[in-house]
């Protein structure tokens, strides 16, 4: 047994197949979620990723970016709200991520409710990307995207 819960989790969730191509990942999601493709935009929207990535100081995953370019916000199973940036609303998304990190997730960290997983901007720290629909965020109601930290722009 390792010293922290995080160490115990590392390497335990090996996918049967890792999807590294963003288009392949979106296609797999569309196959897995009935009706999702009906909400796909006819053309991808142009988003100002620099606002988010420079504001956060990290690159965002390519599959997340592709999902946001092709889809508006959506809810899965009347449960999981996937909040994506919209054109011209990137600054609001950035503000929401920062607020979640400084309020909700920080509170979870302080109360040892993150299973030892660190919050961004720690290397490998977590960024929020979805939550329960209409439910106050709790450790079990907010899903997080694992990112790699990058130097903050000067």
Question: Tens digits of per-residue pLDDT, 137-153?
Answer: 333 333 334 443 333 33
Location of structure tokens 């939550």: 131
Q: Write out pLDDT tens, residues 14-53.
A: 777 888 899 999 999 999 998 999 999 999 999 999 999 9
Q: Write out pLDDT tens, residues 61-110.
A: 999 999 999 999 988 888 888 889 999 999 999 998 888 878 777 777 78
Give dist(CA 74, CA 24) in Å, integer. Answer: 19
Say whether pTM exceeds 0.75. no
Give dist(CA 73, CA 64) in Å, integer. Answer: 12
Integer angstrom CA distances of residue 10 from 6, 50, 52, 144 = 6, 31, 28, 16
130 membership: H or E segment, kind and range: strand 126-132
Nearest to residue 100, comparing CAs of 131, 72, 79? 131
């Amino acid at each position: 047994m390792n010293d922290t819960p995080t160490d115990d989790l590392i390497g335990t969730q090996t996918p049967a197949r890792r999807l590294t191509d963003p288009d392949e990942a979106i296609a797999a999601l569309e196959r897995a979620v009935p009706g999702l493709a009906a909400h796909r935009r006819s053309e991808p929207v142009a988003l100002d990723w620099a606002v988010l990535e420079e504001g956060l100081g990290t690159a965002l995953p390519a599959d997340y970016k592709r999902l946001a370019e092709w889809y508006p916000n959506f809810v899965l199973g009347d449960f999981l709200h996937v909040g994506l940036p919209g054109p011209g609303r990137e600054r609001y998304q950035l503000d929401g991520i920062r607020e979640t990190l400084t309020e909700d997730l920080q509170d979870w960290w302080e109360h040892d409710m993150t299973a030892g997983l660190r919050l961004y901007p720690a290397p490998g720290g977590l960024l929020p990307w979805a939550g329960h629909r209409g439910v106050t965020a709790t450790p079990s109601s907010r899903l997080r995207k694992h990112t790699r930290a990058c130097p903050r722009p000067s």
